[in-house]
Chain A
Amino acid sequence: MTEQPLVLGIESSCDETGIGIVRGTELLTNTVSSSMEEHVRFGGVIPEIASRAHLDAMVPALQAALDEAGVTLDEVDALAVTAGPGLSGALMVGVSAAKALAVATGKPLYGINHLVAHVGVGLLDDSGIEGFSADFLDQLPRGGLGALLVSGGHTEILAVRDITGDVQLLGSTLDDAAGEAYDKVARLLGLNYPGGPAIDKAAASGDSKAFVFPRGLSARKFMGTAEQPGKHRYDFSFSGLKTAVARVVEGFEARGEEVPVADIAASFQEAVVDVITKKAMLACQEQGIKTLLLGGGVAANSRLRTLTAQRCEEHGIKLVIPKLSLCTDNGAMVAALGARLVTEGRAPSGIDFEADSSLPVTTISV
């Protein structure tokens, strides 16, 4: 296999049908077709609607990606697809399409972990990470890379010591993902979907200290100590926070007072971002991690970016943030990780693997 394999990656774990094509570490195209608009009236992603959209977007997206990259299917060296974690019906569409391509072309297929792929964007020449290029993941200190993934479906802290061989889950949400909490609170406040940008905007003119909302799993019994860590030291929970916001909103309504949307939005956002960054810092410090990658759609959130940057600086941790088109779900990250697996001579997955909605991060390729 060549040093610079041409790899086509397919992503369909949530509401984005993404096709990426890379040549080794060079990104040739990152085509994304989103069904986001169809979910707006529901205030959240509806799995069945997302799956239907994937079915009809798949072939047009493949065609568009090949056209944009200026390559043919024959020229592709290998295929990669998100095998999980994600919405099971949505994953199934991408996995079935990828297998069909593998059968049709005879090319090897890699079923890839979605979360690890989010980190895999760091394998690209032009990931938008300042001062770094494709060797970024190979130049890390011994502690490896921390990854903080925050999106509508995920809130995780990973320790990546070797992107194709050693990835560990340090913490994750026990209930809602952070982005999901944003969507639900946006609805409580009468703001639009998706909630992330809407709350970010409303919060800009609000007082983040107006209300004190709970920071989930921050109590001693969950946290423990560095020496004797509690069960949920690096884990998150946002469902209590959402309920707390609802109580405050209801209180204003019951008193017939105007709901201070900006103040609540700012205070809610501060609670989310505070607990996420605090736990991420703790995990990095205690696990000897000196570089943190921020990924996922909520990486677009201004307050999350600011506070993560500030706290990383305070803790002597280098923060890297890929460009936004590579933070949100996309096929390029799948192709990038696939290309690395090919280059390292790893065995492909075959065509009889299953999509796994709860694929653990330790399974980098199935």
Chain B
Amino acid sequence: MLVLAIDSSATASVALARLHETGYDLLAVRETDDTRSHAEVMAPFVREVLDDAGVASSDLDALVCGTGPGPFTGLRAGIVTARTLGFAWNLPVYGMMSLTALAEEVFDSALAAGHTEILVATDARRREVYSARYALSAGGYELLEGLTVGKAEELADLPAYGRGAGLYPDALQAVEGFSDLQPRARFLLAAAARAGIENLSTDTSALYLRESDAKVPAARKKASA
């Protein structure tokens, strides 16, 4: 089946692949390196990816959307794009936690290095990281703990992958060669192929992990004589 994936949890990316029983064929990809242009690039990326692959929207079977965690404004740009495309094309939209893309991307290498448990982490800004802990086995990876947002120092002492690890090398065992990694849509497709798209959830709620910063104002102090 033809599946289009979108992720805007850190950088912005769009990927198109044909998923089949034993894996997937990547047909086209667009990715940014920067983390602040989601609302501008997302729609053009979708158009370009379809054009590149010579695929008409009517050929698509489903959409996959990274639901975060990630900085709020950029994250919303991707989710609203996926939901609106799904609405207009009358296609199902499956939500996937964005850190899954990192676990998927590093899995082979981490397993080959003999790791049985790893952390993946992305930049949560405010000197914090978003993270998740995975167990690895020959059969695949499994989410053990997370999602969390917090200080890198508070995380388990495990090999750590992703930009979140690279930012805090003193606190985390950042694995060399993987310390700039960001979640990307192509690896959401790989993860979807591994899990079987029929096993995914259609819940695309944004994983903010933090409340809005708004504080309910305290009762006003009355001036006294």
Contact of A96 among B42, B213, B217 (CB under 8 A): B42
Residue on B with the closest CB to A39? Answer: B214
Instruction: Decide yes or no whether B40 CB sits under 8 A from chain A.
Output: yes
Give A355 to B85 CA distance when docked, in angstroms: 19
How far in angstroms is the closest Cβ of chain B from A14?
A: 15
Number of A positions contacting B (CB below 8 A) = 43
Instruction: Decide yes or no whether A221 CB sits under 8 A from chain B.
Output: no
Binding stretch for chain A, among B76-84, B106-114, B166-174: B76-84
Interface residues of A in 208-266 (CB under 8 A from B): 250-251, 253-256
Instruction: Decide yes or no whether B57 CB sits under 8 A from chain A.
Output: yes
Instruction: Decide yes or no whether A71 CB sits under 8 A from chain B.
Output: no
A100-B84, A105-B88, A352-B40 as given contacts; A51 in contact with B76, CB under 8 Å: yes
Chain A residue contacts of B72, Cβ below 8 A = 48, 51-52, 89
Instruction: Tell me whether B57 and A89 are in contact (CB under 8 A).
Output: no
Chain A residue contacts of B140, Cβ below 8 A = none
How far in angstroms is the closest Cβ of chain B from A32?
A: 18
Give A55 to B215 CA distance when docked, in angstroms: 21
Residue on A with the closest CB to B93? Answer: A59
Interface residues of A in 12-65 (CB under 8 A from B): 41-43, 46, 48-49, 51-52, 54-56, 58-59, 62-63
Instruction: Decide yes or no whether A324 CB sits under 8 A from chain B.
Output: no
Binding stretch for chain A, among B26-34, B43-51, B179-187: B43-51
The secondary structure that dominates the B interface is helix
Instruction: Tell me whether B81 and A97 are in contact (CB under 8 A).
Output: yes
Instruction: Tell me whether A46 and B214 are in contact (CB under 8 A).
Output: yes
A63-B87, A104-B84 as given contacts; A253 in contact with B39, CB under 8 Å: no
Give A354 to B43 CA distance when docked, in angstroms: 12
Chain B residue contacts of A89, Cβ below 8 A = 72-73, 76
How far in angstroms is the closest Cβ of chain B from A347?
A: 17
Interface residues of A in 53-83 (CB under 8 A from B): 54-56, 58-59, 62-63, 73
Give A93 to B84 CA distance when docked, in angstroms: 11
How far in angstroms is the closest Cβ of chain A from B95?
A: 13
Instruction: Decide yes or no whether A202 CB sits under 8 A from chain B.
Output: no
How far in angstroms is the closest Cβ of chain A from B205?
A: 8
Contact of A55 among B38, B80, B216, B224 (CB under 8 A): B80
Give A43 to B219 CA distance when docked, in angstroms: 11
Instruction: Tell me whether A46 and B40 are in contact (CB under 8 A).
Output: no
A51-B76, A96-B76, A187-B220 as given contacts; A46 in contact with B88, CB under 8 Å: no
Instruction: Tell me whether B212 and A104 are in contact (CB under 8 A).
Output: no
Residue on A with the closest CB to B219? Answer: A190
Instruction: Tell me whether A103 and B85 are in contact (CB under 8 A).
Output: yes
A51-B72, A250-B223, A254-B225 as given contacts; A58 in contact with B214, CB under 8 Å: no
Give A166 to B125 CA distance when docked, in angstroms: 43
How far in angstroms is the closest Cβ of chain A from B179?
A: 29
Contact of B80 among A46, A58, A251 (CB under 8 A): A58
Instruction: Tell me whether B40 and A49 are in contact (CB under 8 A).
Output: no
Number of B positions contacting A (CB below 8 A) = 38
Instruction: Tell me whether A59 and B83 are in contact (CB under 8 A).
Output: yes
Chain B residue contacts of A254, Cβ below 8 A = 223-225
Instruction: Tell me whether A102 and B43 are in contact (CB under 8 A).
Output: yes
Contact of A92 among B39, B82, B217 (CB under 8 A): B39
Instruction: Decide yes or no whether B24 CB sits under 8 A from chain A.
Output: no
Interface residues of B in 117-167 (CB under 8 A from A): none
Instruction: Tell me whether A48 and B84 are in contact (CB under 8 A).
Output: no
Contact of A253 among B84, B216, B217, B222 (CB under 8 A): B222
Instruction: Decide yes or no whether A351 CB sits under 8 A from chain B.
Output: yes
Contact of B224 among A59, A95, A97, A253 (CB under 8 A): A253
Give A250 to B76 CA distance when docked, in angstroms: 43
A97-B84, A100-B88, A103-B85 as given contacts; A55 in contact with B76, CB under 8 Å: yes
Instruction: Tell me whether B84 and A52 are in contact (CB under 8 A).
Output: no
Interface residues of B in 194-225 (CB under 8 A from A): 205-206, 208, 212-217, 220, 222-225
A55-B79, A103-B46 as given contacts; A43 in contact with B217, CB under 8 Å: yes
Give A309 to B205 CA distance when docked, in angstroms: 48
Give A353 to B40 CA distance when docked, in angstroms: 6
Instruction: Decide yes or no whether A99 CB sits under 8 A from chain B.
Output: yes
Chain B residue contacts of A256, Cβ below 8 A = 225
Chain B residue contacts of A353, Cβ below 8 A = 40
Residue on A with the closest CB to B215? Answer: A42
Pairs A–B under 8 Å by Cβ, sample size 24: A46-B214, A49-B212, A51-B72, A52-B208, A52-B212, A55-B76, A55-B206, A58-B83, A63-B87, A92-B73, A97-B84, A99-B43, A100-B81, A103-B85, A104-B57, A104-B89, A105-B88, A187-B217, A253-B222, A351-B43, A351-B47, A352-B40, A354-B39, A354-B40
* A residues with CB within 8 A of B: 41-43, 46, 48-49, 51-52, 54-56, 58-59, 62-63, 73, 88-89, 92-93, 95-97, 99-105, 187-188, 250-251, 253-256, 351-355
Question: Closest 10 A-B residue pairs measured CB to CB?
Answer: A99-B43, A104-B88, A48-B212, A100-B84, A250-B223, A46-B214, A253-B223, A254-B223, A100-B81, A96-B77
17 additional contacts (CB under 8 A) given A51-B73, A73-B88: A41-B216, A49-B214, A54-B76, A56-B205, A59-B84, A62-B84, A89-B72, A93-B77, A96-B38, A96-B77, A99-B81, A100-B80, A100-B84, A254-B223, A353-B40, A354-B39, A354-B40
